[in-house]
Structure 1
């Protein structure tokens, strides 16, 4: 029988990779799409480790690119379970890059992905609860709840808005847009 509750430490995953020229974009910085792919992979590994089932990405809730990543830097991704629902898991990911010659490390990215646990037939399955044993765990869980509430409110507000209303056309005049209807 699988554990009913697991601590974030039991599911934590870390990945370190040297950034190569093949990972760079045309400006010589590491391509954001490559970093997103790594983030998705580590979120999958962390969530799957937590629940003992394969997980799929339901949403990429937040991705903040904070600093560019250079070729030759050591990229380290750390993933941790921040929140669990019935069949969903929010994984928080921190991405740091280290200049291996100077030892200087910079925080490059913070991300939150919602993963959903699936069985071998593709049906959602319940996930273990989360053992909270520190103020950091409490803060991360509460922040995930708040992000979920804000997202639901925002989606409801957008769904209820009538964007055909002339007031929205008037608002567009403040932006860099040319309207030719």
Structure 2
């Protein structure tokens, strides 16, 4: 059995992850330290900040708190697996299966295990549209995707990881308290 250690001191086998292994603090912390685009960007921009921007976009569209939370947590598996850039990830079927399995555990933990196909389509749409707004600000050279108009103004400034961690954590706590 191979175990991983988390920021909060949890130890578990990520291949056998359960809801008890999931920690919102671990997710917020790890995502605030993971750089988007495999680090091939002009400045540090974290997966955590991307997730906060996605949640803000969902809120700007007037979507339900449930969908805002799904947008915030859509990359939460990367807190346990790390981030792999899309051009590579599409060739890693085993990784995608593990990622999906861990995402399901995380979504179950936070009351999102029953997202409909339409709800999943919605958060994936925001993820893609946010990417189209982030990349022109962060990449050198030709942009691989066309920028799409969105409802919010994403915060693309560089922020200290602790600031992003706390914003992610606070936003998640607020959204989860609204669901109770």
TM-score when scaled to structure 2? 0.31
Larger radius of gyration: 1
Q: Whose helix proportion is higher, 1 or 2? A: 2
TM-score when scaled to structure 1? 0.31
Larger RCO, structures 1/2 (Cα 8 Å, 6+ apart):
2
